[in-house]
C-alpha cells in the first residue's frame, strides 16, 4: 500500500496545531517551550530540542515519504498497449499518458467484419483490415508513433467485388503532462497518408491532419483500491481523402467504404473507461464523428440524403467493448468489438459497419537494465575439494575436418579407463590439478594412431584440445554401372565421389566402374554428355565394396533449370493439383532438371525450397499449403537421389508476393516454388 505525501504532511500540520495541554499529555514539550526555552542554570545539553531540530525531522519525514511515494508499478497489471492509431490507448481512444520512458511497442492488430445489408440493401460484405503499429517513448512525457494499414473489402455489388487498399501510412506525435494527482492532460497530432484511389502508391494530395486534445483520469491514484481510468478525446480532422479520387470520377458507396473516402472534415469526440485488474484490463468506449465543412456537391448523390437532412442518425457513431490481456511479461493481447450505432446512411460519407472484431498482439521492448533482488540461504560450507582442470577434446579428420566417432582415447601415464569419442568426435577427460601434463593416446581402425601431450593452464575449468587424425590406407570400394533407360552403355560416363576424399573415375566399355576411397559417408554423382546428372548417398566401409548403379535420362531439348549465383532459376512453374500438394506429372521433367543441377554441383551444401501462394483463402490455410507443397518437392528431389541433408523446405504462404494480388495474372505469378542455395 502506498503512503501518500499529502496525508503525511497533513498529519504533521495537525500535530503542530494541537493545544498545549494535549501536547503535555502526550509527553511532548509545549509549543511555547519549543520557541522560547526558559532561563536555566543547567548545562546547554539539557535544553529541549530547538525549533530547527523539529524542522530537520519534518524534512526527513517528507524525504522518506517521497521515497515511499515512488513505488514500482504492480508487475501483474497490463502494460501500456496500443490502439488502432498506434498510440497508447483503448481501441480507438488515445490515453493522455504514454509508455514508460525509454520503452518501445510494436503491435499487429487485425479488423474483421462480415454480414448482409451492410453498405446497400441485399448486399453481402466482408471486410478485413491489417495494421502494423509502432510507438516509441524516447523521453518522458513524449512519444512518436507510426502505422502501416492495409484493407480488403469484398462486396457482391462491387465492381470489382474485391477492393484492396494497401500501404496507407500514418505518423503521429504526442505530448502530455500530469497536472494533478491522477490527472494527465496532453495533445497529439496525426498525419494520415492514404494510397491513391484503387492503387498502391501514396497520395500526398489526400493527406489528412488531425490535432487532438487528450485528458486521462486515474481514479486509483485519487482513491486507493479503485483502479478505474477514464479517457476523453476531442479533435478536428481535416480530411482530404476526397482528393485521391481522379477528376471526373464519382465514387460509389462501396468504393467510399472500401477506400475510406469522406467528403467531410470531422469533429471527433470520444469517451472511454478501463479497469485495471491483474493480467487483464477490460474497457468500454464511445466515439462520435460529427461531419462538418463538406466539399462542394456532396449532396448531389442520388438515393441518399444529405448529412444536414439525415441529422445525427447518419453521424459515424461507434461503441467499442473489449479486453487487453498480458499473460506474460512484455506480451500483450487485444480482443475487442465495435458496435455501430449509426442509423442512416448519408451522401459522401463512408458507411459505418454494424459490427467489427478487432484482435491482435503487442510486444513491449524494454532495453533498460532490470535490477533483481535474490534472497540466498547461506549454508555452512562443507569440505573444500581440490580445484581441477579438464580437457574438452575434439577429434576430427585431417582432410575433411569432419568429426571422428568411435576413436579410443587412452591415458598411458595413469590407470584411467579408456574413453570413446561421441558422434561429434568429442570427449571430456578426467580431472587433473591445474598446471599438470596429461598424455593422450588416440586410435581408430581407419586412422593412424597419435599421441598428444597437453600441459593444463593454471586456471581451473575446461580447456579445449583439437586433435586431427590422418586416415590410414585402409579403404573400401564403390562398384556399379552407368547406363541409359534402355540398359545401353553410355560412353564417356563418369562417377564422382565427394566425402572424406574426392575422386572421379570413368566407366569402362561395358558401362561398369570401380573406385577405391577412404571409409566414410559419400555423395556419388553420375554424369555423361547429353544426359541429366543423377546423385546418390553411399556409405563406404573399410575393406568392403558398396554396390551403386545409375540409370541416366537424356537431357531434354529445352533447358528448364539453371544455376545462377545463389539461385536455381526455373523456366516453368511447378504445377500442383488445385488446393493440394500433389505434383502434376507435367512438372516431373522440370524437377528432374533441378535434381541434375544440384547433383552436378557437389559444392552445394544446402538448398532452401520455398513454397509461396496467392491471397485466395485464409492465411493459415495458405501457410500450411505452401509448407506441404515445398515438402512434396523436397521429397521428389530426395527420391531422385539428392541427400536429405542438402534440402530444406519452408512455406511462406502469401507473405512474399512478387506482385500485388489484384488480378488473376498477378496471383498466378505469386503461386510458385523457388530454389535458393543457402550454403556452399
For 79-125, how does the pLDDT look when each residue is reduced to its tens digit (9 = 90+)?
Answer: 889 999 999 999 999 999 998 888 999 999 999 999 999 998 899 99
Q: Are 411 and 453 in contact (CB under 8 A)?
A: no
C-alpha cell at 285: 468506449
Cell 545463389 maps to which residue?
Answer: 566
Q: What are the pLDDT digits (tens) for 619-653?
A: 999 999 999 999 999 999 999 999 999 999 999 99
Average pLDDT, the chain: 85
Cα–Cα distances (Å) from 307 to 44, 290, 293, 344, in that order, read 87, 10, 11, 10
Residues in the chain: 680
Q: Does the pLDDT of residue 290 top 90, yes or no?
A: yes
Tell the burial category of 181 from Cβ atoms under 10 Å away from its Cβ (0-12, 13-18, 19+): exposed
User: Which residues does 55 contact at the CB level (< 8 Å), separation at least 6?
Assistant: none
Q: What are the pLDDT digits (tens) for 482-525?
A: 999 999 999 889 999 998 888 999 999 999 999 988 888 899 99
End-to-end CA distance of the chain: 62
Q: Does the pLDDT of residue 534 top 60, yes or no?
A: yes
Q: Which DSSP letter does residue 629 get?
A: H
- Give the count of beta carbons closer than 10 Å to the beta carbon of residue 418: 10
Q: How far apart are CA 199 and CA 195, in angstroms?
A: 6
- The confidence band for 52, taking pLDDT boundaries of 50, 70 and 90, is very low
Q: Does the pLDDT of residue 397 top 80, yes or no?
A: yes
CA angle, 199 as apex, 193 and 203 as ends, to 5°? 25
In DSSP notation, 174-187 reads EEEEEEETTEEEEE
Q: How far apart are CA 281 and CA 90, in angstroms?
A: 10
Cα–Cα distances (Å) from 362 to 192, 334, 336, in that order, read 22, 8, 14
Q: Which DSSP letter does residue 163 get?
A: E
Q: How far apart are CA 267 and CA 523, in angstroms?
A: 72
Phi, psi of 643, rounded to the nearest 5 degrees: -65, 130
Per-residue confidence (pLDDT) for residue 448, from 0 to 100: 86
Q: How far apart are CA 483 and CA 550, in angstroms?
A: 6
Bigger pLDDT: 441 vs 445: 441
Per-residue confidence (pLDDT) for residue 104, from 0 to 100: 94
> What's the pTM?
0.48
Per-residue confidence (pLDDT) for residue 48, from 0 to 100: 40
- Give the count of beta carbons closer than 10 Å to the beta carbon of residue 471: 22
Per-residue confidence (pLDDT) for residue 378, from 0 to 100: 52
- What percent of the chain has pLDDT above 70? 85
Q: Are 555 and 530 in contact (CB under 8 A)?
A: yes
316 half-sphere exposure, CB direction, 13 A CA radius: 24
Per-residue confidence (pLDDT) for residue 451, from 0 to 100: 92
Q: Are 435 and 456 in contact (CB under 8 A)?
A: yes
Average the pLDDT over each of 373-387, 498-512, 572-586, 587-601 and give the range with the smallest value.
373-387
Q: Which DSSP letter does residue 158 get?
A: -
Phi, psi of 412, rounded to the nearest 5 degrees: -65, -20
Bigger pLDDT: 606 vs 55: 606
Q: How far apart are CA 134 and CA 81, in angstroms?
A: 11
154-169 mean pLDDT? 89
Q: How far apart are CA 75 and CA 284, in angstroms?
A: 23
Q: Are 390 and 401 in contact (CB under 8 A)?
A: no
- The confidence band for 388, taking pLDDT boundaries of 50, 70 and 90, is confident
In DSSP notation, 402-421 reads -B-TT-EEE-TTS-PPPEE-
Bigger pLDDT: 384 vs 550: 550
Q: Does the pLDDT of residue 69 top 60, yes or no?
A: no
Per-residue confidence (pLDDT) for residue 18, from 0 to 100: 41
Q: Which DSSP letter does residue 37 get?
A: P
- The confidence band for 371, taking pLDDT boundaries of 50, 70 and 90, is low
Per-residue confidence (pLDDT) for residue 296, from 0 to 100: 77
Q: How far apart are CA 322 and CA 338, in angstroms?
A: 9
Q: Which of 503, 531, 532, 552 is nearest to 598 (CA)?
A: 532
Q: Are 540 and 546 in contact (CB under 8 A)?
A: yes
Q: Which DSSP letter does residue 678 get?
A: E
- The confidence band for 558, taking pLDDT boundaries of 50, 70 and 90, is confident
Cell 586456471 maps to which residue?
Answer: 459
In DSSP notation, 486-503 reads TS-B-TT-EEEEESSS-E
Q: Give the alpha-carbon dihedral of 373, 379, 384, 387, to 10 degrees.
A: -20
- Give the count of beta carbons closer than 10 Å to the beta carbon of residue 26: 9
Q: How far apart are CA 176 and CA 202, in angstroms?
A: 30
Q: What are the pLDDT digits (tens) for 600-628?
A: 998 899 999 999 999 998 999 999 999 99
Per-residue confidence (pLDDT) for residue 86, from 0 to 100: 93
Give the chain's radius of gyration (CA, Å): 39
Bigger pLDDT: 376 vs 275: 275
User: Which residues does 611 contact at the CB level (< 8 Å), separation at least 6?
Assistant: 625, 626, 627, 628, 629, 630, 633, 649, 650, 651, 652, 673
Cα–Cα distances (Å) from 48 to 12, 21, 51, in that order, read 19, 17, 9
Q: How far apart are CA 630 and CA 626, in angstroms?
A: 6
Amino acid at each position: 500500500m502506498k503512503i501518500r505525501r499529502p496525508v503525511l504532511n497533513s498529519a504533521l500540520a495537525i500535530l503542530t496545531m494541537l493545544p498545549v495541554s494535549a501536547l503535555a499529555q502526550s509527553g511532548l514539550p509545549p509549543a511555547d517551550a519549543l520557541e522560547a526555552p526558559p532561563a536555566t542554570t543547567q548545562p546547554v545539553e539539557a535544553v529541549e530540542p530547538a525549533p530547527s531540530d523539529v524542522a530537520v525531522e519534518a524534512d526527513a519525514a517528507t524525504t522518506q515519504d517521497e521515497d515511499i511515494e515512488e513505488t514500482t508499478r504492480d508487475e501483474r497489471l497490463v502494460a501500456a498497449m496500443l490502439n488502432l492509431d498506434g498510440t497508447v490507448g483503448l481501441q480507438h481512444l488515445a490515453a493522455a499518458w504514454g509508455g514508460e520512458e525509454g520503452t518501445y511497442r510494436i503491435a499487429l492488430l487485425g479488423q474483421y467484419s462480415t454480414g448482409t445489408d451492410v453498405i446497400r440493401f441485399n448486399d453481402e460484405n466482408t471486410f478485413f483490415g491489417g495494421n502494423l503499429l509502432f510507438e516509441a517513448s524516447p523521453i518522458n512525457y513524449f512519444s512518436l508513433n507510426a502505422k502501416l494499414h492495409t484493407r480488403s473489402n469484398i462486396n457482391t455489388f462491387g465492381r470489382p467485388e474485391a477492393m484492396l487498399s494497401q500501404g496507407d501510412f500514418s505518423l503521429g506525435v504526442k505530448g502530455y503532462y500530469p497536472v494533478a494527482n491522477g490527472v494527465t492532460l496532453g495533445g497529439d497530432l496525426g498525419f494520415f497518408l492514404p494510397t491513391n484511389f484503387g492503387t498502391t502508391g501514396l497520395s500526398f494530395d489526400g493527406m489528412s491532419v488531425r490535432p487532438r486534445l487528450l485528458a486521462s483520469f486515474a481514479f486509483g491514484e485519487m482513491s486507493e483500491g479503485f483502479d478505474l481510468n477514464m479517457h476523453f478525446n476531442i479533435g478536428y480532422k481535416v480530411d482530404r481523402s476526397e482528393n485521391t479520387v481522379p477528376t471526373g470520377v464519382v465514387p460509389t458507396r462501396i468504393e467510399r467504404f472500401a477506400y475510406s473516402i469522406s467528403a467531410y472534415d470531422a469533429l471527433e469526440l470520444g469517451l472511454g473507461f478501463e479497469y485495471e485488474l491483474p493480467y487483464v484490463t477490460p474497457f468500454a468506449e464511445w466515439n462520435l464523428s460529427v461531419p462538418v465543412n463538406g466539399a462542394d456537391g456532396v449532396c448531389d448523390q442520388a438515393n441518399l440524403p444529405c448529412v444536414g437532412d439525415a441529422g445525427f442518425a447518419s453521424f459515424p457513431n461507434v461503441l467499442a467493448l473489449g479486453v487487453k490481456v498480458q499473460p506474460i511479461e512484455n506480451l500483450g493481447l487485444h480482443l475487442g468489438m465495435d458496435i455501430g450505432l449509426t442509423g442512416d446512411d448519408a451522401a459522401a460519407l463512408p458507411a459505418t459497419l454494424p459490427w467489427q472484431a478487432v484482435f491482435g498482439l503487442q510486444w513491449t521492448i524494454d532495453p533498460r537494465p532490470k535490477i533483481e533482488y535474490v534472497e540466498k540461504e547461506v549454508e555452512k560450507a562443507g569440505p573444500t575439494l581440490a580445484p581441477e582442470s579438464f580437457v574438452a577434446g575434439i577429434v576430427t579428420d585431417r582432410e575433411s575436418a569432419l568429426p571422428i566417432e568411435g576413436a579410443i582415447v587412452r591415458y598411458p601415464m595413469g590407470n584411467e579407463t579408456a574413453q570413446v569419442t561421441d558422434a561429434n568426435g568429442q570427449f571430456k577427460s578426467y580431472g587433473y590439478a591445474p598446471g599438470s601434463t596429461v598424455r593422450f593416446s588416440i586410435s581408430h581402425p581407419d586412422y593412424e594412431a597419435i599421441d598428444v601431450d597437453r600441459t593444463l593452464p593454471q586456471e581451473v575449468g575446461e580447456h579445449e584440445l583439437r586433435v586431427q587424425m590422418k586416415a590410414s590406407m585402409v579403404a573400401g570400394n564403390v562398384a556399379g554401372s552407368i547406363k541409359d533407360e534402355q540398359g545401353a552403355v553410355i560412353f564417356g560416363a563418369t562417377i564422382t565421389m565427394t566425402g572424406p576424399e574426392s575422386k572421379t573415375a570413368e566407366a569402362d566399355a561395358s558401362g561398369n566402374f570401380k573406385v577405391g576411397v577412404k571409409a566414410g559417408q559419400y555423395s556419388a554423382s553420375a554424369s555423361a554428355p547429353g544426359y541429366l546428372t543423377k546423385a546418390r548417398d553411399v556409405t563406404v566401409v573399410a575393406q568392403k565394396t558398396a554396390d551403386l548403379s545409375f540409370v541416366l535420362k537424356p537431357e531434354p531439348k529445352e533447358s528448364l533449370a539453371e544455376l545462377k549465383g545463389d539461385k536455381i532459376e526455373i523456366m516453368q512453374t511447378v504445377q500442383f493439383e488445385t488446393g493440394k500438394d500433389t505434383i502434376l506429372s507435367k512438372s516431373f521433367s522440370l524437377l528432374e532438371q533441378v535434381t541434375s543441377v544440384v547433383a552436378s554441383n557437389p559444392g552445394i551444401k544446402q538448398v532452401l525450397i520455398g513454397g509461396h501462394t496467392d491471397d485466395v483463402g485464409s492465411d493459415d490455410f495458405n501457410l500450411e499449403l505452401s509448407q506441404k507443397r515445398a515438402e512434396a518437392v523436397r521429397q521428389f528431389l530426395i527420391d531422385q537421389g539428392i541427400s536429405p541433408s542438402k534440402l530444406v523446405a519452408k512455406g511462406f504462404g502469401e507473405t512474399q508476393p512478387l506482385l500485388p494480388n489484384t488480378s488473376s495474372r498477378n496471383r498466378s505469378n505469386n503461386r510458385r516454388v523457388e530454389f535458393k542455395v543457402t550454403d556452399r
